[in-house]
Amino acid sequence: MPQLKPIEAAGLANAAYLVKNMELSLINPTELKLPPNFVVGSRVSGVSGLGPGTLSGFGFVASGSSELTRREVILAIRGTDGAADALTDALIGPGVPGPSGTAVHAGFNRTWKTLQEQIERRLPAQGLSGVTVHCVGHSLGGALATLAADYLSTRGAQVKLYTFGCPRVGMIDFAQGLTARAGAGNLFRVYHPADPVAMVPLFPFTHVPKGETGYALACGPTERIRPGAHKMVDSYMQLIGDKSYAALAANGAQTLSDRQIEAWLRQVKEGGWIQNYGARAMEMVGIALDWVLRKILEGVLIGLQPYLAAGVSLLDTLAYVLYVGAKLVKEAAWYVEAIMMAILKLVGRTVRTGVSLTLDFIRWVLDTMMQDVLAMARTVTRVL
């Protein structure tokens, strides 16, 4: 079977929430939005060995029921009741070894370990060679689906990952590893540019697939960041409609050259306008911040991992790297000043040129932006 269509995957991600308050046996099968030739229930053993049924508190597993789909499995996962609390770690927790040993978000990994125990009980002793597992999830469920795909890809399965409004799950080595094992063409990240959940955590956490911008919902140039953009039915499913992945890809962030990013930073520094909490403005701030950090890390030949491994918070580490870079890397000082000005304009603060780039100031600016975005992200994930 080829990949799930965007609306098919979205329907499955939404259906995973049905098992939150209801036994799977009591749910009308049509409500699960299964593709043709897939079934869920204890009566099906599943040729793959990844048996169908309920993943307690997380979602459900469906297996192929025909010759065409007999080596196919669907794993639909939702975010758990306490999942919003995991976002608290977005500025604090360092990366920890995930399913494949690469660095992932500590809060998501804690929840994953509970889910992993259930998945392991369903795995055949001979492994998953020749089996395709479609991992699907929205919000924090997307984060868990990403970790499930990482885990299953190390067990021999061909994974296809579909996420909607998913936060950044792992660091660069995680994204590189999963992209290499699964293939970039099998990783479908759908997001709304105004969705605050998809904006966290900060660099060096990154989205999968590595090097790709993802599939975006339509978002006007003046649309603001808002919790409502994260809703599965009212936002994602409504805006996806019958669109293809190719149509969604056209809405995504542009791949910008160094010269274009530098020109945007110069425009900001010279007084250019940035919309207060604008979705596209936040997108540009993220692109530019990522670019500046990479320039600094390459220029001073330092890495983030030693600081994170020593227990230094992600926010403190990023502030320190920007502070050191502004002092040691040629031209980095004005890059950092421009980024600080862009962030302050984004969050509606007064901006002045020639500001002193102290460590405390840089940390305060980063913290101001991310606390506001995190507050919106936590608000919407608590009511899923």
Q: Where are the domains of the chain?
A: 6-253, 258-380
* Predicted confidence (pLDDT) per residue in 273-312, tens digit: 888 889 989 989 988 998 898 888 876 655 655 555 555 6
Q: Select the highest-mean-pLDDT range: 14-23, 120-129, 233-242, 252-261.
A: 233-242
Q: Select the highest-mean-pLDDT range: 27-31, 128-132, 210-214, 351-355.
A: 128-132
Render 152-163 in DSSP notation, one character per residue. Answer: HHHTT-EEEEEE
DSSP three-state, residue 143: helix
> By percentage, how much of the chain surpasses pLDDT 70?
83
- Render the burial of 6-23: b for 16+ CB within 10 Å, e for the rest: bbbbbbbbbbbbbbeeee
Q: Which of 99, 77, 79 is nearest to 182 (CA)?
A: 99
Residue 54 has pLDDT above 80, yes or no: no
* Predicted confidence (pLDDT) per residue in 322-333, tens digit: 998 888 887 888
Assign 3-class secondary structure to 293-326. HHHHHHHHCCCCHHHHHCCCCHHHHHHHHHHHHH
Distance CA 45, CA 41 (A): 9
pLDDT, residue 355, reads 74
Q: Select the highest-mean-pLDDT range: 119-123, 161-165, 168-172.
A: 161-165
pLDDT, residue 49, reads 44
Q: Of the CATH numbers 1.10.10.350, 3.30.70.20, 3.40.50.1820, 3.40.630.10, which one belongs to the domain with range 6-253?
A: 3.40.50.1820
Contact in structure between 127 and 139 (CB atoms under 8 Å): no
User: What mean pLDDT value characterizes the chain?
Assistant: 83
- Neighbour-count burial of 304, counting CB atoms closer than 10 A to its CB (0-12 exposed, 13-18 middle, 19+ buried): buried
Residue 223 has pLDDT above 80, yes or no: yes
Distance CA 125, CA 224 (A): 50
Q: With a threshold of 0.85, does the pTM exceed it?
A: yes
